[in-house]
Structure 1
């Protein structure tokens, strides 16, 4: 067979194989019944090549590299020139919107088509399979997938959800399944259950999990009751173990508490703001956001972050409980543990006493 026909077959076979890979990858469909609701979500991005945080920030149309820094709990000193290795996982925060029973990123990110791009390359080679080329074609109303032009912008519809889980707010995380993972392992890692993951992802057989698949994992989160509903970052919900930089980078809010509906802890970020030359006042009287203004038994009052707009940062005095309330289950568990040790030691004690009495005429100590 001549060189040209053989090359032709290789090209055809390669294209067919690439199409098979795209088709074989399950499309991520996150349930989202809260019609019209918007929220913060996360998704894993595996970089197809060595790159930088700054490049990823621009690719996903994020306001600032601090968005990535907070979502990945990087040090606040991390800059956009930080190297990201090929295949390294970076959590991407974005705004989600519920519509028609599913959740997708709220018309972001927008990708500008370059020369020689194809929808398949954009889906797999640029965004690492977070979307399929069929989604790109359908949701961008492209009649012919082969007729796209350089400079044309296409919406990259990232999977997400805003639904509560067990009547509790959660941050829905598009988790990239690693090779060898199981639903049980993922559930254990992120503090949920296998049944919850199967239900959220509409999967009946846990053995059907595939490496490279994006699944919906609900993360426990902290919220703030002081943030006003007209604030540009409302509602403010941050996943456990993560931070967010808000108010144009002036405020850092962290979720360090494992409890459901834990209070978000906010403080001045100590980093250079963006969009503002300097950070506006963040005072409650003489106290700064995050500082305790007064304390009493089991209660303290702090200067809390209450949101921002284009000109100012709002604050509010907030009372917080500092004493942990005993729970029935916890008390019962401790009682049972104590009961178990006491009843184990008592027979040993009497045996010791009996032996002591037999071997001496003294009384039991």
Structure 2
């Protein structure tokens, strides 16, 4: 027999109440997110991690930098692949990536000392966690990290450490950059894996999830981002430099800009434009400057590059470089999936963007053909 079209109101109210109760019980906001972090080797217990932050309201890059106490505006630009000339007053994209130091302790990782937040009138720990920091932490996280016994008793002016979960662990034996990611509504494990050039199996294993169906909107997920390999020497100060695709980083006292190539998974480093040459020593490989590439006359598939090899400061500030050889013929086959800096916007408009990009590419090809015909 078909159920009555209008069930009694008490049943409706009870059903809604039970659903809400179940959601509250399993919601990731109800429990603290802990990222496994067992790295204990020298220097491996600390690293640079990335955090995805979706500002609750329209804001500027300068405001985000102040919220997370970032040491430089350029670091925020680099994490998001934004032009180095972008002013601090520019609107902050949402979400955006924030690079923060991560510390492993007791088998788990949290951002080291930063960010902190000073309590204002009307604040609650839950409002700080959900609103100000967009669900990256829970009020339980904040209370535990700051020894707050009663979350309802906080004082205006009190400074709190916001322990955003992070990790420094390698994945499958390879160093990665761990990305703290708040799952948007409508997401799937398969979609997130595709967006960030990883696999469903990796995401499930790293986050200790039983299956893909257990993913919840608002869950704080550990997404390991593959980093580009480099020619940096083991004796260099920045020997642990890890840069994922879709971003760049400034190193060697800001003299060198290194990006992750989306074709070869090799770190591509160049002198930073706009930095005084009198401050930055020249990096050369014989007669070749850093970033210069030559093709072998014997094989059009081999390219020799003057690659960045790190910097030292033992006796004087020096930028190291050496020659590396790579194959260019297999570059297209090696091309990884691009990791979008703002993945939720990418997912919502992915189909439209792909068609737009196809039309643009066709116009460019036709334009090139036309120019060639007139040569």
| Alpha-carbon displacement from aligned partner over 1:276-313 (angstroms, at most 9, x marks no partner) | x9743233377543335997864635152513659964
| Alignment pair present for 1:244 and 2:252 | no
Larger Cα-atom Rg: 1
Q: Which of 302, 321, 336 is matched with 1:317 structurally?
A: 321
The alpha-carbon distance between structure 1 residues 272 and 47, as it changes in their structure 2 partners (threshold 3 A), is: farther
Name the CA distance, whole Å, in 1 between partners of 2:329 and 2:269.
23
**CA-to-aligned-CA distance 1:111-136 (integer Å, 9 cap, x gap):** 22223322222211210111111111
CA distance, structure 2, for counterparts of residue 253 and residue 185 of structure 1: 28
1:215-230 mapped onto 2 (5 Å cutoff): 215-227=221-233
User: How many angstroms apart in 2 are the aligned matches of 1:237 and 1:216?
Assistant: 17
Rate the CA distance shift 1:317–1:268 in 2: closer, same or farther, 3 A: closer
8 Å Cα contact 1:220-1:258 kept in structure 2: no
Residue 228 of structure 1 and its aligned partner are, at CA, apart by 5.5
Query: Residues 319 and 289 from structure 1, CA distance in 2 versus in 1: closer, same or farther, beyond 3 angstroms?
Result: closer
**1:249 and 1:271 in contact (8 A); partners too:** no
Q: What pairs up with 1:152-301 in 2 under 5 angstroms?
A: 152-227=158-233, 231=237, 233-257=238-262, 262-271=265-274, 279-284=279-284, 288-291=289-292, 298=302, 300=304
Return the alpha-carbon distance in structure 2 between the equivalents of residues 127 and 213 of structure 1.
14
Aligned mates of 1:62, 1:268 — CA distance in 2: 23
CA distance in 2 between counterparts of 1:151 and 1:279 reads 41
- CA change 1:313–1:287 in 2 (3 A) is farther
TM-score, length basis structure 1 = 0.73
Matched residues, number: 304
Three-state SS of the structure 2 residue aligned to 1:58 is helix
* Counterpart for residue 5 of structure 1: none
1:149 and 2:155 matched: yes
Alignment CA distance shift 1:62-1:237 (3 Å):
same
Establish whether residue 44 from structure 1 lines up as the match of residue 49 from structure 2: no
RMSD of Structure 2 on Structure 1 (CA): 3.3
Cα 1:299/1:293, change in 2 over 3 Å = closer
Query: Contact 2:256–2:269 (CA<8 Å) still a contact in 1?
Result: yes
Structure 1 unmatched ranges of 5 or more: 1-15, 331-365
Tell me by how many angstroms 1:239 deviates. 0.3
The whole-number CA distance in structure 1 between the counterparts of 2:328 and 2:27 is: 51
Alignment pair present for 1:110 and 2:113: no
What residue in structure 2 maps to residue 304 of structure 1?
308
Cα distance per residue 1:182-212 (max 9 Å; x no partner): 1111112222221111111111031121122
Does the 8 Å contact 1:227/1:236 carry over to 2? Answer: no
CA 1:308–1:94 in 2, change beyond 3 Å: closer, same or farther? Answer: farther
Contact 2:247 2:260 in 1 (8 A): yes
1:62 paired residue number: 70
